[in-house]
Amino acid sequence: MRKGSFGVTIPLFSLRRDGDHGIGDLAGLASFAALAQEAGAAFLQVLPPHVLLGGETSPYGAVSAFALDPVYIALDRVPELAGKRFPAEPGTSHSVNYTQVRALKGAALAEAAATFAALAPNDPRNQEFQRFLAAEDATWLDDYALYVVARDVHAVWRFTDFPAPLRDRDPGAIAAFRAEHTTAIDAAKYIQFLAFEQWAAARAELAQLPGGPVRLFGDLPFMVARDGADVWADPATFTMEGSLGVPPDAFSAEGQDWQLPTWNIETLRRSNYAFFQKRIAHSRKLYDGFRLDHVLGYFRQWRWFSKPVAGSAAIRQKDGSALHGVFTPADEPSQNALGRELLGVLQKLAGDGVILAEDLGTVPDFVPPALDALGLPGYKVLPWTREKNGTITDPAAYPENAVATFSTHDTAPLEGFYAEFAEVDKHRLAHLIGRYRLNAWESATTRRDGVFALFADSPARWVLALAQELLGVRDRINVPGVVGDGNWSWRLPATADALRADPTIAEALATVRAWMEAAGRA
Protein backbone atom coordinates (compact mmCIF):
# COMPACT_ATOMS: atom_id res chain seq x y z
CA MET A 1 0.00 0.00 0.00
CA ARG A 2 1.30 3.47 -0.87
CA LYS A 3 2.46 5.22 2.30
CA GLY A 4 2.36 8.73 0.92
CA SER A 5 3.74 10.96 -1.82
CA PHE A 6 7.13 12.48 -2.50
CA GLY A 7 7.46 15.70 -4.45
CA VAL A 8 10.04 18.23 -5.59
CA THR A 9 9.85 22.03 -5.49
CA ILE A 10 11.12 23.74 -8.64
CA PRO A 11 10.35 27.37 -9.57
CA LEU A 12 9.39 27.75 -13.22
CA PHE A 13 12.15 30.31 -13.72
CA SER A 14 14.71 27.70 -12.61
CA LEU A 15 13.93 25.26 -15.42
CA ARG A 16 16.34 24.92 -18.33
CA ARG A 17 16.05 23.41 -21.79
CA ASP A 18 17.81 23.71 -25.11
CA GLY A 19 16.42 26.68 -26.99
CA ASP A 20 14.96 28.62 -24.07
CA HIS A 21 15.55 32.35 -23.79
CA GLY A 22 17.25 32.94 -20.48
CA ILE A 23 14.49 31.75 -18.17
CA GLY A 24 12.66 28.51 -17.52
CA ASP A 25 9.47 28.13 -19.51
CA LEU A 26 6.46 25.86 -19.67
CA ALA A 27 8.00 23.73 -22.40
CA GLY A 28 10.70 22.67 -19.94
CA LEU A 29 8.38 21.36 -17.24
CA ALA A 30 7.92 17.80 -18.51
CA SER A 31 11.64 17.08 -18.89
CA PHE A 32 12.28 18.13 -15.29
CA ALA A 33 9.30 16.05 -14.15
CA ALA A 34 10.93 13.03 -15.79
CA LEU A 35 14.13 13.75 -13.84
CA ALA A 36 12.21 14.04 -10.55
CA GLN A 37 10.40 10.82 -11.41
CA GLU A 38 13.78 9.04 -11.46
CA ALA A 39 13.95 9.88 -7.74
CA GLY A 40 10.46 8.52 -7.11
CA ALA A 41 8.67 11.87 -7.15
CA ALA A 42 4.95 11.77 -7.84
CA PHE A 43 4.39 15.53 -7.96
CA LEU A 44 6.12 18.83 -8.65
CA GLN A 45 5.46 21.98 -6.70
CA VAL A 46 5.99 25.29 -8.50
CA LEU A 47 6.04 28.79 -7.05
CA PRO A 48 3.36 31.30 -8.08
CA PRO A 49 3.51 31.87 -11.88
CA HIS A 50 1.51 35.10 -12.07
CA VAL A 51 2.30 38.48 -13.67
CA LEU A 52 4.65 40.65 -11.61
CA LEU A 53 4.97 44.39 -11.13
CA GLY A 54 7.64 45.97 -13.30
CA GLY A 55 11.04 45.52 -11.69
CA GLU A 56 9.71 42.85 -9.33
CA THR A 57 11.27 39.38 -9.32
CA SER A 58 9.53 37.74 -6.35
CA PRO A 59 6.70 35.40 -7.41
CA TYR A 60 4.84 36.73 -4.37
CA GLY A 61 4.61 40.25 -5.81
CA ALA A 62 2.07 39.49 -8.55
CA VAL A 63 -0.39 42.10 -9.84
CA SER A 64 -2.98 39.41 -10.56
CA ALA A 65 -4.06 36.23 -8.83
CA PHE A 66 -5.13 34.91 -12.25
CA ALA A 67 -2.97 36.13 -15.15
CA LEU A 68 0.14 34.09 -15.98
CA ASP A 69 3.47 35.82 -16.46
CA PRO A 70 4.34 35.96 -20.20
CA VAL A 71 8.02 35.28 -19.40
CA TYR A 72 7.05 31.60 -19.04
CA ILE A 73 5.79 31.35 -22.63
CA ALA A 74 8.09 29.24 -24.83
CA LEU A 75 8.61 31.36 -27.94
CA ASP A 76 9.46 28.37 -30.13
CA ARG A 77 6.02 26.91 -29.41
CA VAL A 78 4.00 29.97 -30.41
CA PRO A 79 2.33 29.21 -33.78
CA GLU A 80 2.35 32.89 -34.76
CA LEU A 81 6.15 32.93 -34.39
CA ALA A 82 6.81 29.80 -36.44
CA GLY A 83 10.12 30.09 -38.29
CA LYS A 84 11.28 33.10 -36.23
CA ARG A 85 14.56 32.94 -34.31
CA PHE A 86 15.45 34.86 -31.17
CA PRO A 87 18.60 35.02 -29.02
CA ALA A 88 18.68 31.80 -27.03
CA GLU A 89 20.46 32.85 -23.84
CA PRO A 90 20.42 36.50 -22.79
CA GLY A 91 22.17 37.29 -19.50
CA THR A 92 24.30 35.03 -17.39
CA SER A 93 23.91 31.32 -17.90
CA HIS A 94 23.06 30.28 -14.35
CA SER A 95 20.75 33.10 -13.32
CA VAL A 96 17.82 34.96 -14.82
CA ASN A 97 18.36 38.48 -16.13
CA TYR A 98 14.75 39.62 -15.89
CA THR A 99 15.32 42.95 -17.65
CA GLN A 100 16.72 41.29 -20.76
CA VAL A 101 14.23 38.42 -20.71
CA ARG A 102 11.23 40.76 -20.43
CA ALA A 103 12.53 42.97 -23.25
CA LEU A 104 13.16 40.03 -25.57
CA LYS A 105 9.92 38.19 -24.89
CA GLY A 106 7.87 41.37 -24.80
CA ALA A 107 9.00 42.32 -28.31
CA ALA A 108 8.51 38.77 -29.63
CA LEU A 109 5.01 38.46 -28.18
CA ALA A 110 4.02 41.87 -29.51
CA GLU A 111 5.03 40.60 -32.97
CA ALA A 112 3.00 37.43 -32.41
CA ALA A 113 -0.03 39.48 -31.33
CA ALA A 114 0.15 41.57 -34.50
CA THR A 115 0.29 38.43 -36.63
CA PHE A 116 -2.64 36.93 -34.75
CA ALA A 117 -4.73 40.09 -35.12
CA ALA A 118 -4.56 39.69 -38.91
CA LEU A 119 -6.19 36.24 -38.85
CA ALA A 120 -9.68 35.86 -40.27
CA PRO A 121 -12.51 35.52 -37.73
CA ASN A 122 -13.21 31.95 -38.89
CA ASP A 123 -9.57 30.86 -38.58
CA PRO A 124 -9.33 27.86 -36.17
CA ARG A 125 -6.82 29.77 -34.00
CA ASN A 126 -9.24 32.63 -33.67
CA GLN A 127 -12.02 30.26 -32.74
CA GLU A 128 -9.83 28.76 -30.00
CA PHE A 129 -9.15 32.27 -28.75
CA GLN A 130 -12.88 33.03 -28.64
CA ARG A 131 -13.45 29.92 -26.53
CA PHE A 132 -10.75 31.13 -24.13
CA LEU A 133 -12.47 34.52 -23.89
CA ALA A 134 -15.81 32.87 -23.20
CA ALA A 135 -14.27 30.94 -20.30
CA GLU A 136 -12.13 33.68 -18.72
CA ASP A 137 -13.17 37.17 -19.82
CA ALA A 138 -15.97 37.87 -17.37
CA THR A 139 -14.24 36.56 -14.26
CA TRP A 140 -10.79 38.18 -14.54
CA LEU A 141 -9.33 38.52 -18.04
CA ASP A 142 -11.12 41.67 -19.18
CA ASP A 143 -10.28 43.57 -15.99
CA TYR A 144 -6.67 42.42 -16.17
CA ALA A 145 -6.27 43.49 -19.81
CA LEU A 146 -7.82 46.91 -19.12
CA TYR A 147 -5.51 47.32 -16.12
CA VAL A 148 -2.24 46.51 -17.91
CA VAL A 149 -3.08 48.64 -20.93
CA ALA A 150 -4.14 51.58 -18.73
CA ARG A 151 -0.86 51.34 -16.84
CA ASP A 152 1.08 51.42 -20.10
CA VAL A 153 -0.95 54.23 -21.65
CA HIS A 154 -0.67 56.47 -18.59
CA ALA A 155 2.92 55.41 -17.77
CA VAL A 156 2.17 54.75 -14.09
CA TRP A 157 2.79 51.84 -11.73
CA ARG A 158 -0.27 52.28 -9.50
CA PHE A 159 -3.90 52.20 -10.55
CA THR A 160 -4.46 54.94 -7.97
CA ASP A 161 -2.55 57.18 -10.41
CA PHE A 162 -4.99 56.51 -13.27
CA PRO A 163 -7.15 59.50 -14.23
CA ALA A 164 -9.87 59.70 -11.57
CA PRO A 165 -12.81 58.37 -13.67
CA LEU A 166 -10.77 55.36 -14.78
CA ARG A 167 -9.31 54.87 -11.31
CA ASP A 168 -12.83 54.80 -9.86
CA ARG A 169 -14.10 52.52 -12.65
CA ASP A 170 -16.66 54.93 -14.04
CA PRO A 171 -18.55 52.88 -16.69
CA GLY A 172 -18.37 55.67 -19.25
CA ALA A 173 -14.63 56.13 -18.75
CA ILE A 174 -14.00 52.39 -19.10
CA ALA A 175 -16.14 52.21 -22.27
CA ALA A 176 -14.28 55.15 -23.81
CA PHE A 177 -10.88 53.71 -22.88
CA ARG A 178 -11.83 50.33 -24.31
CA ALA A 179 -12.95 51.87 -27.59
CA GLU A 180 -9.72 53.86 -27.93
CA HIS A 181 -7.37 50.99 -27.06
CA THR A 182 -9.13 47.91 -28.43
CA THR A 183 -6.05 46.60 -30.26
CA ALA A 184 -3.80 46.75 -27.19
CA ILE A 185 -6.47 45.20 -24.95
CA ASP A 186 -6.99 42.35 -27.42
CA ALA A 187 -3.21 41.82 -27.57
CA ALA A 188 -3.01 41.54 -23.77
CA LYS A 189 -5.76 38.91 -23.85
CA TYR A 190 -4.06 37.04 -26.70
CA ILE A 191 -0.81 36.79 -24.72
CA GLN A 192 -2.74 35.26 -21.83
CA PHE A 193 -4.34 32.86 -24.31
CA LEU A 194 -0.85 31.72 -25.32
CA ALA A 195 0.24 31.28 -21.70
CA PHE A 196 -2.79 29.19 -20.78
CA GLU A 197 -2.53 27.19 -24.00
CA GLN A 198 1.05 26.25 -23.12
CA TRP A 199 0.10 25.57 -19.48
CA ALA A 200 -2.52 23.07 -20.64
CA ALA A 201 0.01 21.46 -22.98
CA ALA A 202 2.50 21.10 -20.12
CA ARG A 203 -0.13 19.52 -17.89
CA ALA A 204 -0.93 17.04 -20.66
CA GLU A 205 2.76 16.16 -21.00
CA LEU A 206 3.02 15.56 -17.24
CA ALA A 207 0.05 13.21 -17.42
CA GLN A 208 1.62 11.18 -20.23
CA LEU A 209 5.21 10.68 -19.05
CA PRO A 210 6.61 7.18 -19.77
CA GLY A 211 7.11 6.61 -16.03
CA GLY A 212 3.51 7.48 -15.26
CA PRO A 213 1.69 10.75 -14.52
CA VAL A 214 3.26 13.45 -12.36
CA ARG A 215 0.88 15.80 -10.60
CA LEU A 216 1.41 19.54 -10.52
CA PHE A 217 1.02 21.51 -7.30
CA GLY A 218 0.99 25.28 -7.01
CA ASP A 219 1.38 27.90 -4.32
CA LEU A 220 -1.37 30.40 -3.50
CA PRO A 221 -0.03 33.61 -1.92
CA PHE A 222 -2.12 34.75 1.00
CA MET A 223 -2.73 38.23 -0.44
CA VAL A 224 -2.66 40.08 -3.75
CA ALA A 225 -0.69 43.23 -4.60
CA ARG A 226 -2.00 46.55 -3.27
CA ASP A 227 -1.58 48.16 -6.70
CA GLY A 228 -2.72 45.17 -8.74
CA ALA A 229 -5.57 44.38 -11.08
CA ASP A 230 -7.57 42.45 -8.48
CA VAL A 231 -7.82 45.37 -6.04
CA TRP A 232 -8.69 47.78 -8.85
CA ALA A 233 -11.44 45.45 -10.10
CA ASP A 234 -12.86 44.53 -6.70
CA PRO A 235 -11.80 47.13 -4.07
CA ALA A 236 -14.55 46.27 -1.59
CA THR A 237 -13.02 42.83 -0.93
CA PHE A 238 -9.82 44.44 0.41
CA THR A 239 -8.97 46.84 3.21
CA MET A 240 -6.37 49.43 2.32
CA GLU A 241 -6.06 50.91 5.81
CA GLY A 242 -2.85 49.63 7.28
CA SER A 243 -0.47 47.14 5.72
CA LEU A 244 -0.30 43.35 5.99
CA GLY A 245 2.78 41.83 7.61
CA VAL A 246 3.92 39.84 10.62
CA PRO A 247 4.85 41.01 14.12
CA PRO A 248 8.35 40.69 15.60
CA ASP A 249 9.38 37.07 16.13
CA ALA A 250 12.43 34.84 16.27
CA PHE A 251 13.06 35.44 12.57
CA SER A 252 12.75 39.25 12.56
CA ALA A 253 13.19 41.46 15.61
CA GLU A 254 11.26 44.28 13.94
CA GLY A 255 8.62 42.18 12.24
CA GLN A 256 7.94 42.38 8.51
CA ASP A 257 5.85 44.92 6.63
CA TRP A 258 4.78 43.34 3.34
CA GLN A 259 3.09 46.49 1.97
CA LEU A 260 -0.03 44.49 1.08
CA PRO A 261 -3.73 45.11 1.71
CA THR A 262 -5.78 42.90 4.01
CA TRP A 263 -8.99 40.98 3.48
CA ASN A 264 -12.27 42.73 4.24
CA ILE A 265 -13.83 39.77 6.01
CA GLU A 266 -17.34 41.20 6.15
CA THR A 267 -17.35 41.84 2.39
CA LEU A 268 -16.12 38.31 1.76
CA ARG A 269 -18.95 36.92 3.84
CA ARG A 270 -21.63 39.10 2.24
CA SER A 271 -20.44 38.06 -1.23
CA ASN A 272 -20.49 34.38 -0.25
CA TYR A 273 -16.68 34.47 -0.54
CA ALA A 274 -16.90 35.40 -4.22
CA PHE A 275 -13.18 36.20 -4.60
CA PHE A 276 -12.25 32.88 -2.98
CA GLN A 277 -14.66 31.12 -5.32
CA LYS A 278 -13.03 32.67 -8.40
CA ARG A 279 -9.52 32.06 -7.15
CA ILE A 280 -9.95 28.42 -6.20
CA ALA A 281 -11.91 27.58 -9.36
CA HIS A 282 -9.11 29.15 -11.38
CA SER A 283 -6.42 27.31 -9.40
CA ARG A 284 -8.19 24.01 -9.97
CA LYS A 285 -7.67 24.60 -13.71
CA LEU A 286 -3.94 25.05 -13.15
CA TYR A 287 -3.09 22.52 -10.46
CA ASP A 288 -3.87 19.16 -8.91
CA GLY A 289 -3.18 20.63 -5.48
CA PHE A 290 -1.71 23.71 -3.89
CA ARG A 291 0.09 25.07 -0.87
CA LEU A 292 -1.71 27.83 1.01
CA ASP A 293 0.95 30.42 1.73
CA HIS A 294 0.92 32.05 5.22
CA VAL A 295 -1.97 29.96 6.47
CA LEU A 296 -1.72 31.77 9.82
CA GLY A 297 -3.15 34.81 8.06
CA TYR A 298 -6.49 33.08 7.64
CA PHE A 299 -6.73 33.04 11.42
CA ARG A 300 -5.46 36.54 12.09
CA GLN A 301 -4.05 39.36 9.99
CA TRP A 302 -1.29 41.50 11.46
CA ARG A 303 -1.77 45.07 10.27
CA TRP A 304 0.87 47.82 10.43
CA PHE A 305 -0.03 51.51 10.84
CA SER A 306 2.21 54.59 10.83
CA LYS A 307 0.22 56.05 13.73
CA PRO A 308 -1.22 54.50 16.90
CA VAL A 309 -4.59 52.76 16.56
CA ALA A 310 -6.78 51.19 19.21
CA GLY A 311 -5.07 48.19 20.79
CA SER A 312 -1.87 48.55 18.76
CA ALA A 313 1.69 48.13 20.00
CA ALA A 314 4.54 50.39 18.83
CA ILE A 315 7.52 48.59 17.30
CA ARG A 316 10.71 50.63 17.03
CA GLN A 317 12.43 50.32 13.66
CA LYS A 318 16.15 50.47 12.89
CA ASP A 319 15.85 54.01 11.55
CA GLY A 320 14.34 55.20 14.84
CA SER A 321 10.76 55.43 13.58
CA ALA A 322 7.94 53.33 14.96
CA LEU A 323 5.25 51.22 13.36
CA HIS A 324 2.09 50.32 15.22
CA GLY A 325 0.81 46.78 14.82
CA VAL A 326 -2.42 45.06 15.74
CA PHE A 327 -3.99 41.66 15.08
CA THR A 328 -7.40 41.46 13.41
CA PRO A 329 -9.35 39.86 15.05
CA ALA A 330 -7.77 40.83 18.37
CA ASP A 331 -8.69 37.88 20.60
CA GLU A 332 -7.68 34.24 20.19
CA PRO A 333 -11.18 32.68 20.30
CA SER A 334 -12.21 34.92 17.39
CA GLN A 335 -9.00 34.13 15.54
CA ASN A 336 -9.57 30.41 15.96
CA ALA A 337 -13.14 30.71 14.72
CA LEU A 338 -12.15 32.85 11.72
CA GLY A 339 -9.41 30.48 10.61
CA ARG A 340 -11.70 27.48 10.78
CA GLU A 341 -14.34 29.41 8.83
CA LEU A 342 -12.11 30.64 6.00
CA LEU A 343 -10.09 27.46 5.63
CA GLY A 344 -13.29 25.43 5.68
CA VAL A 345 -14.61 27.53 2.81
CA LEU A 346 -11.39 27.06 0.81
CA GLN A 347 -11.38 23.35 1.51
CA LYS A 348 -14.97 22.97 0.32
CA LEU A 349 -14.21 24.96 -2.84
CA ALA A 350 -11.11 22.85 -3.56
CA GLY A 351 -13.16 19.65 -3.68
CA ASP A 352 -10.79 16.76 -4.29
CA GLY A 353 -7.84 19.10 -4.91
CA VAL A 354 -5.08 18.65 -2.36
CA ILE A 355 -4.38 21.55 0.04
CA LEU A 356 -1.10 21.83 1.95
CA ALA A 357 -1.05 24.40 4.76
CA GLU A 358 2.14 26.48 5.15
CA ASP A 359 1.92 27.06 8.90
CA LEU A 360 5.47 28.31 9.52
CA GLY A 361 6.48 31.15 11.80
CA THR A 362 5.21 31.81 15.31
CA VAL A 363 2.28 29.40 15.46
CA PRO A 364 -0.43 29.97 18.11
CA ASP A 365 -1.39 26.88 20.10
CA PHE A 366 -4.90 26.79 18.63
CA VAL A 367 -3.72 26.49 15.01
CA PRO A 368 -2.49 22.84 14.90
CA PRO A 369 -5.75 21.46 16.37
CA ALA A 370 -7.73 23.55 13.89
CA LEU A 371 -5.73 22.22 10.94
CA ASP A 372 -6.11 18.67 12.26
CA ALA A 373 -9.86 19.12 12.61
CA LEU A 374 -10.02 20.24 8.99
CA GLY A 375 -7.62 17.53 7.81
CA LEU A 376 -5.15 20.07 6.41
CA PRO A 377 -1.49 18.95 6.57
CA GLY A 378 0.90 21.49 8.12
CA TYR A 379 4.65 21.67 7.57
CA LYS A 380 7.37 19.92 9.56
CA VAL A 381 10.69 21.55 8.58
CA LEU A 382 13.32 19.34 10.21
CA PRO A 383 15.67 22.08 11.52
CA TRP A 384 12.73 24.02 12.99
CA THR A 385 10.63 21.15 14.36
CA ARG A 386 11.80 20.60 17.93
CA GLU A 387 10.89 19.11 21.28
CA LYS A 388 10.23 21.34 24.30
CA ASN A 389 13.87 20.92 25.34
CA GLY A 390 15.05 22.26 21.98
CA THR A 391 16.10 18.92 20.50
CA ILE A 392 15.35 18.34 16.81
CA THR A 393 12.30 16.09 16.60
CA ASP A 394 12.76 12.62 15.16
CA PRO A 395 10.77 12.50 11.89
CA ALA A 396 9.48 9.13 13.09
CA ALA A 397 7.36 11.16 15.51
CA TYR A 398 5.80 13.42 12.88
CA PRO A 399 2.02 13.16 12.54
CA GLU A 400 0.54 11.51 9.48
CA ASN A 401 -1.22 14.70 8.47
CA ALA A 402 1.99 16.61 7.70
CA VAL A 403 4.45 17.72 5.02
CA ALA A 404 7.98 16.59 5.95
CA THR A 405 10.80 18.69 4.50
CA PHE A 406 14.28 19.87 5.36
CA SER A 407 13.98 23.32 3.80
CA THR A 408 11.77 25.74 1.89
CA HIS A 409 12.26 28.16 -0.98
CA ASP A 410 13.07 30.82 1.66
CA THR A 411 15.95 28.86 3.23
CA ALA A 412 19.21 27.34 2.12
CA PRO A 413 18.87 23.77 0.83
CA LEU A 414 20.04 20.86 2.96
CA GLU A 415 23.82 21.34 2.84
CA GLY A 416 23.66 25.10 3.27
CA PHE A 417 21.27 24.71 6.18
CA TYR A 418 23.46 22.02 7.74
CA ALA A 419 26.52 24.29 7.55
CA GLU A 420 24.72 26.72 9.89
CA PHE A 421 23.79 24.03 12.43
CA ALA A 422 25.03 24.26 15.99
CA GLU A 423 27.22 21.31 16.98
CA VAL A 424 24.42 19.86 19.10
CA ASP A 425 22.16 19.78 16.05
CA LYS A 426 24.84 18.14 13.90
CA HIS A 427 25.21 15.44 16.55
CA ARG A 428 21.44 15.00 16.69
CA LEU A 429 21.23 14.52 12.91
CA ALA A 430 24.13 12.08 13.03
CA HIS A 431 22.30 10.08 15.70
CA LEU A 432 19.07 10.01 13.67
CA ILE A 433 20.56 8.86 10.39
CA GLY A 434 22.86 6.41 12.13
CA ARG A 435 19.92 4.03 12.27
CA TYR A 436 20.45 3.55 8.54
CA ARG A 437 24.15 2.82 9.07
CA LEU A 438 24.98 6.12 7.44
CA ASN A 439 27.65 8.44 8.81
CA ALA A 440 26.53 12.08 8.79
CA TRP A 441 30.12 13.21 9.37
CA GLU A 442 31.40 11.42 6.29
CA SER A 443 30.06 13.51 3.42
CA ALA A 444 27.23 15.57 1.98
CA THR A 445 26.11 12.43 0.13
CA THR A 446 25.58 10.38 3.28
CA ARG A 447 23.77 13.28 4.94
CA ARG A 448 21.45 13.64 1.96
CA ASP A 449 20.79 9.92 1.83
CA GLY A 450 20.11 9.84 5.56
CA VAL A 451 17.68 12.74 5.47
CA PHE A 452 15.73 11.25 2.56
CA ALA A 453 15.64 7.93 4.41
CA LEU A 454 14.29 9.63 7.54
CA PHE A 455 11.56 11.37 5.60
CA ALA A 456 10.67 8.30 3.55
CA ASP A 457 10.15 6.30 6.76
CA SER A 458 8.29 9.03 8.62
CA PRO A 459 4.51 8.79 9.07
CA ALA A 460 4.06 12.12 7.23
CA ARG A 461 1.79 11.71 4.23
CA TRP A 462 3.77 14.20 2.16
CA VAL A 463 7.53 14.52 1.67
CA LEU A 464 8.91 17.52 -0.18
CA ALA A 465 12.45 18.42 -1.29
CA LEU A 466 14.03 21.32 -3.13
CA ALA A 467 15.42 20.54 -6.58
CA GLN A 468 18.84 21.63 -5.29
CA GLU A 469 18.81 18.79 -2.76
CA LEU A 470 18.43 16.16 -5.46
CA LEU A 471 21.35 17.69 -7.35
CA GLY A 472 23.63 18.25 -4.36
CA VAL A 473 24.01 22.02 -4.74
CA ARG A 474 23.78 24.78 -2.14
CA ASP A 475 22.30 27.54 -4.29
CA ARG A 476 19.42 29.42 -2.70
CA ILE A 477 16.21 30.52 -4.36
CA ASN A 478 15.63 33.43 -1.99
CA VAL A 479 17.11 35.16 1.05
CA PRO A 480 14.19 36.87 2.87
CA GLY A 481 14.64 40.53 3.63
CA VAL A 482 17.42 40.91 1.06
CA VAL A 483 16.90 42.71 -2.25
CA GLY A 484 19.36 41.78 -4.98
CA ASP A 485 20.00 40.05 -8.26
CA GLY A 486 20.66 36.73 -6.53
CA ASN A 487 17.09 36.32 -5.33
CA TRP A 488 14.49 34.50 -7.44
CA SER A 489 16.96 33.98 -10.28
CA TRP A 490 18.58 30.56 -9.74
CA ARG A 491 18.54 28.21 -12.73
CA LEU A 492 19.37 24.54 -13.03
CA PRO A 493 23.08 24.04 -13.80
CA ALA A 494 22.19 22.14 -17.01
CA THR A 495 19.12 20.94 -18.88
CA ALA A 496 17.11 18.25 -17.13
CA ASP A 497 18.05 15.73 -19.82
CA ALA A 498 21.76 16.49 -19.36
CA LEU A 499 21.43 16.16 -15.59
CA ARG A 500 19.73 12.78 -15.93
CA ALA A 501 22.63 11.62 -18.09
CA ASP A 502 25.22 12.65 -15.48
CA PRO A 503 26.35 9.42 -13.72
CA THR A 504 26.73 11.09 -10.32
CA ILE A 505 23.28 12.63 -10.43
CA ALA A 506 21.74 9.47 -11.87
CA GLU A 507 23.16 7.54 -8.91
CA ALA A 508 21.77 10.10 -6.47
CA LEU A 509 18.31 9.92 -8.04
CA ALA A 510 18.36 6.13 -7.92
CA THR A 511 19.36 6.15 -4.25
CA VAL A 512 16.54 8.50 -3.29
CA ARG A 513 14.10 6.42 -5.29
CA ALA A 514 15.26 3.27 -3.46
CA TRP A 515 14.46 4.87 -0.08
CA MET A 516 11.06 6.01 -1.34
CA GLU A 517 10.24 2.59 -2.80
CA ALA A 518 11.32 0.81 0.37
CA ALA A 519 8.96 3.03 2.35
CA GLY A 520 6.08 2.56 -0.11
CA ARG A 521 6.18 6.10 -1.48
CA ALA A 522 7.18 5.31 -5.06
Is residue 229 in some structural domain?
Answer: no
Q: In this predicted structure, what is the pLDDT of residue 507?
A: 97
The gap from C-alpha 76 to its chain's centroid, in whole angstroms, comes to: 25
For 68-124, what is each residue's pLDDT tens digit? Answer: 999 999 999 999 999 998 876 654 468 999 999 999 999 999 999 999 999 999 999
Q: How far apart are the first and last CA of the chain?
A: 10
Burial class (CB in 10 A: 0-12, 13-18, 19+), 409: buried
Residues spanned by the domain of 188 = 5-224+268-291+354-518
Is residue 157 in some structural domain?
Answer: yes
If pLDDT is split at 50, 70 and 90, which confidence band does 428 have? very high
The number of folded domains in the chain is 1
Is residue 74 in some structural domain?
Answer: yes
Q: In this predicted structure, what is the pLDDT of residue 251?
A: 74
If pLDDT is split at 50, 70 and 90, which confidence band does 363 have? very high
Is residue 133 in some structural domain?
Answer: yes
Is residue 243 in some structural domain?
Answer: no
Distances (CA, A) of 236 to 140, 243, 331, 335, 476: 16, 16, 24, 22, 38
Is residue 344 in some structural domain?
Answer: no
For 140-184, what is each residue's pLDDT tens digit? Answer: 999 999 999 999 999 999 999 999 999 999 999 999 999 999 999
Phi/psi for 438 (5° steps) reads -110, 140
Q: In this predicted structure, what is the pLDDT of residue 2?
A: 52
Q: In this predicted structure, what is the pLDDT of residue 8?
A: 98
Q: What is the mean pLDDT of the chain?
A: 95
Is residue 158 in some structural domain?
Answer: yes
| Contacting residues for 83 by C-beta, under 8 A, at least 6 apart | none
Res 520 pLDDT > 70: yes
For 52-61, what is each residue's pLDDT tens digit? Answer: 987 889 999 8
Average pLDDT of the segment spanning 437-451: 95
Is residue 134 in some structural domain?
Answer: yes
For 328-362, what is each residue's pLDDT tens digit? Answer: 999 999 999 999 999 999 999 999 999 999 999 88
Average pLDDT of the segment spanning 463-488: 90
Q: In this predicted structure, what is the pLDDT of residue 89?
A: 62
CATH code (residue 142): 3.20.20.80
What percent of the chain clears pLDDT 70, i.e. is strictly above it?
98
Distances (CA, A) of 7 to 33, 439, 463: 10, 25, 6
CB atoms within 10 A of CB 446: 17
